Each structure stands twice: as C-alpha cells, then as structure tokens.
Amino acid sequence: MPGILLGDVFPDFEADTTIGRIKFHDFLGNSWGILFSHPKDFTPVCTTELACAASLSDSFAKRGVKMIALSVDSVEDHHGWSKDIMDFNSQASGPLPFPIIADHKRELATKLGMLDPDEIDGDGIPLTARCVFVVGPDKRLKLSILYPATTGRNFDELLRVIDSLQLTAQKKVATPVDWKPGDKVMVLPNISDADAAVLFPQGVTTKEVPSGKKYMRYTQL
C-alpha cells in the first residue's frame, strides 16, 4: 500500500463514525483490529460484504479483533444503510455490530491509499476500493489486501489469515498453503534442528526433496 508498509505503525487518525468521533488507536486499545473500506453506501456488493461481516462478528470478537468499516458517505447515510445491511443478513439481528467511518471528502481513503482509479462516482471522483488492513495490538500493520471495487471479499479467508497471524506472532512457525487451524505448521528455516527439538517436543518431521536440503520441516502444535 502506498505510504503504509507491513510493520509500519498504522496512522492514528480521528474520524466521525456511527458510534461518534473516534481516535483509531484508542478505539483499538490492546486489541487486534481490522479496517475494511467500501466504495459506497446503498450498493449491492458492499451490502453483501457488511452483512457477512456482521454475521461473523462473534468469530472476530473471539479472536480479540475489533472491526471497523469505512465508506465515503455521511454518518447519517451509514445509519440508514445499516438497517438495509441487517435486514439482508438472516444470521444476525439488532444494530450493526461494528462502526462505519464517514469519509465523504476521501481524505482518509487518500491517506491510506484506498482509492480505485477505475471506479468513478457521478462527480468524477474515484471511489474507495475494497481494502483490508489488519493491525496488531502494537498498532503495526500486519496485513493488507486490496480488492477492486467490483470484487467482493471472502471473510472466511480473513478469519483464516488472522488465525495465522496470531499463531505466528506467538510461535516460531509459518503456515503453509491452505493452512487451517489444527493443521500442521512449518518450522522456520532459521531454527536449527537442535533448537527445533526443544521448541517442539511433540516432534518435527522432514519431507525429503530432490535437492537433499532439509528445509521442509513440519510440526503439529
């Protein structure tokens, strides 16, 4: 993302939201956070995304993740749109379980590199793309994904990625392709076999490869 790289401290912005004015770092507290942007209120793909996010809010909360959305419209529009979102969502009830940031001047979207140059509104101004930022308790950027405005996200994948981020923040492991919680993980290449034996007393297995190098090491946590 322009201006924000993995490991950078995420900007501590202030913004008006559906729960009032917030300061982002104060909103997060000691939690993980996920900030996801949307092109515009009262649009079809955005409505399906926020409805899905609402239905998964308990799953994010169990992982200690605070959710917050962003769209370019006003707080008043956000409140009206939230009713449509929750009506569309058959798996949740009550108010929208996370706030939406109002960014009608595109100031925050511009600062965070969220604009989609191929999607223009009636005034000729670019809309926000479908951007995802995951921020750790240390307020540093842990993950960023940028989808074009025309492509909806997969929130199950976002949960899977957060599971991986939280695991690898605590353990000296990496998660392989298509990993899910409970699957085997990979021992980091910079860990010696002797250290791996201490760190992973449950055992380490090595897959033989034609090169003969012993880097494909797995363990079960």
Which residues belong to the active site? Answer: 46, 138
Give 167's contacts (C-beta < 8 A, 6+ positions apart): 173, 175, 181, 185, 221
Dist CA 14 CA 8 (whole Å): 18
- Listing DSSP states for 111-134 in one string gives HTT-EEEEEE-TTSPEEE-EEEEE
Cβ atoms 26, 17 nearer than 8 A: no
Three-class SS state of 9: strand
Tokens of 122: 């009636």
What are the strands of the beta sheet with 204-206, ordered from one edge?
173-174, 185-187, 217-219, 204-206
Alpha helices in the chain (DSSP H): 24-28, 44-55, 57-62, 75-88, 107-111, 155-170, 193-199
Work out the angle at residue 9's Cα, subtended by the Cα atoms of residues 8 and 14, and round it to the nearest 5 degrees: 135
